[in-house]
């Protein structure tokens, strides 16, 4: 088995962040590129907030909150004061977290791209891998519901993902250009991982860019997706509810069907091992390994399991 | 002696804030209007920061920092994190303080005026007096130095007021319009106080607006200035150094000369009582009272002293 020389990961938020954190314990971070979802981004009091990028950065820096978002042990003095003033406070932002958004927004205001500001944040946190937003352009995820179209955070945080959804759309997809390095990282890697992220609102926004989808199709790397659904439930977030609402089977098999034709290997958790033949019947390889990323060791073990499943020596 | 029915105060930062806090302990706050300097305002990471307005608001709300600016016992978690990221951090902003700037900036972004957002902040803090910026327009104070022109905070905070100054200018004065209510409050009051603030960078910016200067000239109220210089030194800030640098006598008399022709009564501290005849010789009344605003009681006593000196019963 060869060692991978270049690994690219299509990343959502928390699940992807944990997978990437495991990966950088197993292979040199310089070999890894994370392509991040920006569909969840929001403007909060004039500040550019990128929840998925920040989950990745904070987790790679070892400072993520215990739920996977925000900064561990962060205070909320600014937010509490804002609430007392009658200001908008439905989106929870801690004081240290706030510095990230102030820093990023200031860079953008000075003419930097989102890629530039993301790279600057990664550098400031001493992160060794390359972290790139899928696009420097606006490319929001719109959640279609019975109550009308909602911006992602409006659906996910303000409404607590409690509104039944009927679809997801990406109105910016036709015009948003992949950020510098995105297409190359996807096309020219040895291993292209689709992180255990929500297929609809984390991975679809990436694939919604035609040049990204083409690069995945043309990638010279082995294309591996890791199921975010384990035992019929999502580890984190609304993926299971979305599968159900959008008419998919709420299982790893349901996810595999979504990626059918796009990937070479689908990785399920061992608890779903009985689904392997059904996934293989979709025309892809399938393997069941332990995918539970509990703690640093769990994350490392899962990264190692995925690399082994993909045939790499680490 | 009559009770005052309407008091208007031309206000800078800390000295004015303390005077106003004393005043609202002596007369009903609804009778008082503070006209605030905006020459010190700055844009900090895209946020609108109004140091003088905020000193007034925080002091009136009883939450001012012990040095007179910022919020007492505020934390600096966001600023510390920003510094760690390599972001701009020369201007000290606490976490609770940050909420004020986020709140204000969001209002401005939504189309509110600075007056509107100031009123909203005052209301949120339960402040009973009227607090108005002198103008809703940009009206910055430029400090002229041997090193060139500097924005006020650049001079005052970043350079720690250590650069020799040669002058002060107000490039926005010709076009900035007084905010709604400013001219009326100055013209139609019983008592117009010039707070014990820096004449050059707190009061001059107000008087630099032609319609404000005219309103002061035409005011039907008694016009009283309180010396910010006591015993030849400024209680707070660079007023003494500025008097010296700009060729004025560094004393209450030096300040009185600046206001000569503009006011009816000049109030000195008792330690400067010997200057009373020289001030009177300038063609204004003069009286020496205790002007040391130490603690709530000191602020109240000074306000009472000023009102008595102006011939009002309180």
Quick: pLDDT tens for B243-300.
Answer: 999 999 999 999 999 999 999 999 999 999 999 999 999 999 999 999 999 899 999 9
> Which tens digit of pLDDT belongs to each residue from A185-226?
999 999 999 999 999 999 999 999 999 999 999 999 999 999
Average pLDDT over residues B218-227: 97
User: B7-41+132-309: CATH homologous superfamily?
Assistant: CofD-like domains (3.40.50.10680)
Could you say which DSSP state residue A275 is in? G
Residue given tokens 């505020």 in the structure block: B74
Nearest beta carbon to residue B77 from set A75, A100, A121? A75
* DSSP, residue by residue, chain B: -PPPS-EEEEE-SHHHHHHHHHHHHHS-GGGEEEEE--TT-EEETTEEE-HHHHHHHHHHTT-B-TTSSSBTT---HHHHHHHHTT---SS---HHHHHHHHHHHHHHHTT--HHHHHHHHHHHTT--SEEEESBSS----EEEETTEEEEHHIIIIISTT-SPEEEEE-TTTTTPPBPTTHHHHHHT-SEEEE-S--IIIIIHHHHTSHHHHHHHHH-SSEEEEE-SEETTEESSSSHHHHHHHTT--SSHHHHHHHHTTT-SEEEEEGGGGGGHHHHHTTTSEEEEE-----HHHHHHHHHHHHHHHTT---
How confident is the model over B240-259, as pLDDT tens digits? Answer: 989 999 999 999 999 999 99
Question: Of B45, B94, B100, which has the smallest distance from its Cβ to A102's Cβ?
Answer: B45
The more confident residue out of B20 and B245 is B20
d(CA B216, CA B81): 46
Query: What predicted TM-score, i.e. pTM, was given to this entire model?
Result: 0.91
pLDDT band at residue B131 under the 50/70/90 scheme:
very high
User: What residues of chain B lie within 8 A of the CB of A74, using their CB?
Assistant: 77
Q: Which of A74, A82, A109 sits opposite B103 (nearest CB)?
A: A82
* Contact call for A102 and B87, based on CB within 8 A: yes
- Nearest neighbour of A109 by CB, restricted to B46, B94, B103: B46
Q: Which of A42, A45, A88 best tests the B interface by mutation, with the highest count of B CBs <10 A?
A: A45
The whole-angstrom distance between B23's CA and the closest CA on chain A is: 24
Q: What is the per-residue pLDDT across A25-35, written as a single tens digit (0 to 9) for each?
A: 999 999 999 99
Please state the φ and ψ torsions of residue A167, each to the nearest 5 degrees: 175, 175
Using a CB-CB distance cutoff of 8 angstroms, which residues of chain A are in contact with residue B101? none
Spatial CA neighbour of A99 closest among B78, B100, B90: B78
Mutate to test the interface with B, among A42, A44, A46 (most CBs of B within 10 A): A46
Nearest residue, CB atoms, B106 vs list A45, A84, A105: A45
Longest dimension (CA), chain A: 61
Compute the count of residue pairs across chains A and B with CB atoms less than 8 Å apart. 104
Q: In this complex, do B78 and A99 lie within 8 Å of one another by their Cβ atoms?
A: yes
| Residue B99 confidence class, pLDDT cut points 50, 70, 90 | very high
pLDDT of B219 strictly over 90: yes
ipTM: 0.88
A151 to chain B nearest CA, in Å? 19
CA distance B106 to chain A (A): 5
Q: What is the tens place of the pLDDT at every residue in B29-64? A: 999 999 999 999 999 999 999 999 999 999 999 999
**Closest approach of A89 to chain B, Cα-based (Å):** 11
What would the two tokens of residue A184 be?
């190359």
pLDDT digits (tens, 9 = 90+) for B139-158: 999 999 988 999 988 888 88
Out of A84, A86, A121, name the one closest to residue B85 (CB): A121
What integer pLDDT is reported at residue A158 of this predicted model?
84
User: Domain A7-46+132-309, what fold?
Assistant: Rossmann fold (3.40.50)
Whether the CB-CB separation of A27 and A7 falls below 8 Å is answered with yes
Q: Which chain A residue is nearest to residue B94, measuring alpha carbons? A: A78
Tell me which chain A residues have a C-beta less than 8 angstroms from the C-beta of B120: 85-86
Residue B214, both tokens: 């005219």
Shortest Cα–Cα distance, A24 to chain B (Å): 22
The pLDDT tens digits for B165-211 are: 999 999 999 999 999 999 999 999 999 999 999 999 999 999 999 99
Q: Residue A160's CB: how many other CB atoms inside 10 A?
A: 9
- What pLDDT was estimated at residue B1? 64
pLDDT at A1: 64
Low-confidence ranges of chain A (pLDDT < 50): none
Instruction: Answer for the pair B164, B238: CB distance below 8 angstroms, yes or no.
Output: no
Strands B47-49 and B233-234 turn out to be unpaired
Average predicted confidence (pLDDT) for chain B: 94
Would you kindly state where each structural domain of chain A is located, as residue ranges? 7-46+132-309
Residues in chain A within 8 Å Cβ distance of B77? 74-75, 77, 94-96, 99
């Amino acid at each position: 088995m060869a060692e991978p020389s270049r690994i690219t990961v299509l990343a959502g938020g928390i699940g992807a962040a944990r997978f990437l954190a495991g990966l950088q314990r197993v292979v040199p971070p310089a070999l890894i590129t994370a392509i991040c979802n920006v569909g969840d981004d929001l403007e909060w009091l004039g500040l550019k907030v990128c929840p998925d990028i920040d989950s990745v950065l904070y987790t790679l820096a070892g400072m993520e909150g215990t739920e996977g978002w925000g900064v561990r042990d962060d205070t909320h003095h600014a937010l509490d004061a804002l609430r007392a003033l009658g200001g908008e406070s439905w989106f929870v932002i801690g004081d240290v977290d706030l510095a990230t958004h102030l820093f990023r927004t200031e860079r953008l205001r000075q003419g930097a791209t989102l890629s530039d500001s993301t790279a600057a944040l990664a550098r400031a946190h001493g992160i060794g891998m390359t972290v790139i937003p899928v696009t420097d352009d606006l490319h929001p995820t719109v959640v279609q519901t019975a109550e009308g179209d909602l911006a992602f955070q409006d659906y996910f945080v303000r409404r607590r993902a409690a509104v039944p959804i009927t679809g997801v759309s990406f109105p910016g997809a036709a015009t948003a250009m992949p950020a510098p390095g995105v297409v190359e990282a996807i096309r020219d890697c040895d291993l292209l991982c689709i992180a255990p992220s929500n297929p609809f609102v984390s991975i679809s926004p990436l694939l919604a860019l035609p040049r990204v989808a083409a690069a995945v199709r043309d990638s010279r790397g082995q294309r591996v997706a890791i199921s975010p659904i384990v035992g019929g439930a999502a580890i984190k977030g609304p993926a299971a509810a979305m599968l159900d609402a959008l008419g998919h089977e709420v299982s790893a098999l349901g996810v595999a069907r979504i990626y059918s034709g796009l990937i070479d290997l689908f990785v399920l958790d061992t608890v779903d091992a009985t689904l392997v033949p059904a996934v293989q019947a979709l025309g892809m390889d399938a393997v069941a390994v332990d995918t539970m990323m509990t703690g640093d060791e769990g994350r490392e073990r899962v990264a190692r399991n995925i690399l082994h499943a993909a045939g790499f020596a680490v």
